[in-house]
Structure 1
Amino acid sequence: MDQASASRTRFGLAFLLAAAGAAAALTPGAAAHDRTDGTAAHRAPATAPPAATDSARTVSAWLPYWDDTEAAYQDALRHAAQLHTVSPFWYRATSGTTVKGQHGAGNRRVIDGLHRAGIKVVPTVNEAMNADTMAALFHDRARRTAHVSALLRLVASRAYDGIDLDYETMATTGTARMRDRVRTGYALFADELCARLHAKGKLCVITVMARTGNSGKAYDYVRLGRAADRIRIMGYDLHWAEGSPGPLSSLAWYEEFLRYATRTVPRDKLEVAFPGYGWDWTLGVKARAGHLTWKQAEALRRRKGAAYRFDTKSGTPHFTYKAGRAVHHVWYQDARGVAAHLPLLKKYGVRGTGLWALGFEDPGFWKVLRGE
């Protein structure tokens, strides 16, 4: 399967499933909604991220806005001792100078509550623009700087500790040649953005697709790893909603992308994000698979009386059930699967982990990460 075209899962979750509309844009001079050329030298942030070798807090997690935000927030508070960062999935760049807030973006109660619990708040921004548009923006010095300034205004609009860039549309659209231009331009952009964030004592986090085969080539791991404080690898959607049924991740796949990542990015900057969800495919039907959190998947399995099966080759659970004449195949991830994958992170010296997303996961996920 071609992951380069498959990795738009998160947009499917955030924008196909979301019922809420976008809030006001953060255009030049505007505040965030209350609902809420050359390579710059890398400068260490005034407030550095917890080093993977020194901190007991080794987990970051995204907080969704379209699901039960309050439940996700409470989930974060329950596990504050393990979380160093929460990234509310709140913002979307719709042009070089416009960043829009999703429903609830900038919620001060959530931000302040996470801070009181000792958790950094680094909101996520994704982009609506395709590869052609982003390549042109990144390679135009004035437009690139204007986009950096728009993101800095966002960071300054609340008591944020930095920003997480999850730019995936540009990595899954356009031609391979255009994605090459995205890769070189995005590296220039990251140099400038991260340097300016560091000058303000803020964190620069970049989320990337796993680099395997033809996947993830829009990201220059070497350059991004130099510029950013953390590189988050999405360790999921090996099989995805619009493809054939199969595990969201596998041991062989983790081995492949970890081998590449640890050759190109300092290990203490790497985080591997685990899925707390799954997909429900209807066999023989080309329709998009249904999204299920771990909680929903387990409830469905029990309701249908389906046997729990664990695929030792991939390290993921799955089950099959019938709805009328239709046969469904569900693949997802649970604590047992995460436990099967963790030795590979240890093998490659990566201690940083992540979760997509708060409120989705098997509660045992946290015990597994504690080594219980």
Structure 2
Amino acid sequence: MWKRAEGESRRGKRRTGGVLGRTGGSIWFLVLIASALLLVVVMAIPRQSGPEPPGPLVVASLPFWNLANGTSTVVRNDEAVNEVSPWMYGLGEDSRLTIQYSPVQATEVAGHLQRLREAKIPIVPSLANITNGEWSYEPVARMLHDPEKMRRHVIEIVELVKRENYDGIDIDYENLKAGDREVFTRFVTELGTALHGSGKRLSVAVFAKTTDAGYDERNVAQDYVAIGRVADQVRLMAYDYHWATSPPGPVAPVGWVRDVLRYATTAIPRDRIVLGIPLYGYDWSGGNATSVTWLQAFRLATEHRAQTAYDPATQSPWFRYTDAQGRPHEVWFENSVSSKAKFEAARGSGIRGVYLWMYGYEDAGTWPELRNSLPASRSRGRA
């Protein structure tokens, strides 16, 4: 923490009898005149104000398959966003870093990143345990339980961040096991220390939970208290309360989101907590669901003339329709109203900010609601 500047130190005066004795009152007169002039000069210098209180952090998570639209949306709304996390790095079978997009997309991706840099938006890309396009446990587990592989992995990440001039890295290692808890803490601690030594930041994505144990092994594997000590941002993935293979229901019911925040603020410093907010939904039919953007949900409701309802208890919109094959569907999604409820929950909890999982085309009304609830400060993005 910055220490408050102390006042001028008072040094004891050392008497030098001979000099003072010879000059007498003339010296004191000159001292008084000089002091008065100095006071006038000091008062005339404009007082420098301290840094303005930082505003909320607003991060846009941009998956590589939506990088073009996501970049354009962020640049259009750059006064509402002060950090971006392109979701584009993964792990190979050998636990080494990989790029999730294909080589033929490299030039296009570089162009989008350049647009973000020109807009002066800090870039903190996400690194996930995605191998060959799928979530994979073994590569990250091998790294976590092998000290040499972990050391190499930390070095590789720091070199990537420095080489590409990123502001930091976001670690999104999912579906770990309870037995990985201690080594995962060791990994993020070593990575945080190395990044901070290079003037870079560490963000860690964690599964949402309302107790330390949570509801399964992947929750146990993430120690909120320990991670909160070393990460600059702890991103709560407060979504997928209902998911692709669950029964239909809201993606992020606001009551559950508040419960997640209530627990998180007992374990992690509030100024390090960033609430993940989904801007997508699911379309269930036959026991499974496909993910949908707000735009896709809107088109489905329009095409099938479905009446959209709004569940006040969970603050979530939904509708039902029957497709051309006669199969019933139930869609739960997010719009500007449901997102606003979560923006207000974040603001009310006093946490650092939010990150938006921008799966695709979101409700355009989300952006004014975001600006009203959480006016972003660019300086916060570089804190």
Q: TM-score over 0.5 for the alignment?
A: yes
Partner amino acid for 1:210? A
1:277 aligns with 2:283: no
Partner amino acid for 1:343? E
| Cα pair 2:278 2:334 within 8 Å, conserved | yes
Partner amino acid for 2:174? E
Give 1:364 deviation, angstroms.
1.3
Which stretch of the first structure deviates more once superposed, 305-314 or 214-223?
214-223
> What residue number does 1:176 align with?
none
> What residue number does 1:6 align with?
none
SS of match in other structure, 2:296: helix
**Deviation digits for residues 305-364 of structure 1 (CA, Å, limit 9, x no counterpart):** 111100111111000001132110000111101222333323321240111116432111
1:153 aligns with 2:151: no
1:347 aligns with 2:353: no
**Deviation digits for residues 42-80 of structure 1 (CA, Å, limit 9, x no counterpart):** 9xxxxxxxxxx933452101112224x322111110111
1:196 to 191, 194, 197: 194
1:184 to 170, 182, 185: 182
> What residue number does 1:207 align with?
205
- TM-score, L = length of structure 2: 0.76
Separation in structure 1 between the aligned mates of residue 266 and residue 231 of structure 2, nearest angstrom: 16
Give 1:187 deviation, angstroms.
0.6
Separation in structure 1 between the aligned mates of residue 225 and residue 93 of structure 2, nearest angstrom: 27
2:260 to 257, 262, 271: 257
- TM-score, L = length of structure 1: 0.78
Q: 1:214 to 1:358 in 2, by over 3 A?
A: closer
Q: 1:131 to 1:65 in 2, by over 3 A?
A: closer
Give 1:217 deviation, angstroms.
2.0
SS of match in other structure, 1:112: helix
- Paired positions, count: 309
Q: Which structure has more helix as a fraction of its residues?
A: 2
| Cα pair 1:127 1:169 within 8 Å, conserved | no
**Deviation digits for residues 184-243 of structure 1 (CA, Å, limit 9, x no counterpart):** 111100010011111111111111110133152221111111111101111210000111
Partner amino acid for 1:196? A
| Cα pair 1:126 1:168 within 8 Å, conserved | yes
RMSD: 2.1
SS of match in other structure, 2:363: coil
| Cα pair 1:63 1:358 within 8 Å, conserved | yes
Separation in structure 1 between the aligned mates of residue 187 and residue 337 of structure 2, nearest angstrom: 39
Separation in structure 2 between the aligned mates of residue 79 and residue 158 of structure 1, nearest angstrom: 24
> What residue number does 1:331 align with?
332
Separation in structure 2 between the aligned mates of residue 160 and residue 105 of structure 1, nearest angstrom: 17
Q: 1:65 to 1:343 in 2, by over 3 A?
A: closer
> What residue number does 2:112 align with?
110
Which stretch of the first structure deviates more once superposed, 201-210 or 151-160?
151-160
Q: 1:97 to 1:251 in 2, by over 3 A?
A: closer
1:242 aligns with 2:248: no
> What residue number does 2:64 align with?
65
Partner amino acid for 1:156? K
SS of match in other structure, 2:65: coil
| Cα pair 2:129 2:137 within 8 Å, conserved | no
1:294-313 equivalent positions in 2, closer than 5 A: 294-313=294-313
| Cα pair 2:236 2:274 within 8 Å, conserved | yes
SS of match in other structure, 1:66: helix
Q: Which runs of 5+ in 1 are unaligned?
A: 1-41, 43-52, 171-178
1:90 aligns with 2:93: no
| Cα pair 1:211 1:217 within 8 Å, conserved | no
**Deviation digits for residues 87-141 of structure 1 (CA, Å, limit 9, x no counterpart):** 1111101245411112245833222221221211111110147556644532432
Q: 1:157 to 1:290 in 2, by over 3 A?
A: same
Partner amino acid for 1:306? A
Separation in structure 2 between the aligned mates of residue 144 and residue 105 of structure 1, nearest angstrom: 28
> What residue number does 2:53 align with?
54
Separation in structure 2 between the aligned mates of residue 100 and residue 139 of structure 1, nearest angstrom: 20
Separation in structure 2 between the aligned mates of residue 371 and residue 219 of structure 1, nearest angstrom: 33
Partner amino acid for 1:312? P
| Cα pair 2:293 2:359 within 8 Å, conserved | no
| Cα pair 2:87 2:125 within 8 Å, conserved | yes
Separation in structure 2 between the aligned mates of residue 132 and residue 70 of structure 1, nearest angstrom: 31
> What residue number does 2:223 align with?
220
Partner amino acid for 2:166? Y
Which stretch of the first structure deviates more once superposed, 156-165 or 91-100?
91-100
Which stretch of the first structure deviates more once superposed, 337-346 or 319-328?
337-346
Separation in structure 1 between the aligned mates of residue 55 and residue 322 of structure 2, nearest angstrom: 44
**Deviation digits for residues 126-174 of structure 1 (CA, Å, limit 9, x no counterpart):** 014755664453243222111112222322331211111111132xxxx
Q: 1:250 to 1:371 in 2, by over 3 A?
A: same
> What residue number does 2:25 align with?
none
| Cα pair 1:96 1:144 within 8 Å, conserved | no
Separation in structure 2 between the aligned mates of residue 240 and residue 74 of structure 1, nearest angstrom: 28
Q: Give me the identity figure in percent.
A: 33
> What residue number does 2:172 align with?
166
| Cα pair 2:275 2:354 within 8 Å, conserved | yes
Separation in structure 2 between the aligned mates of residue 258 and residue 61 of structure 1, nearest angstrom: 20
Partner amino acid for 2:293? T
| Cα pair 2:277 2:339 within 8 Å, conserved | yes
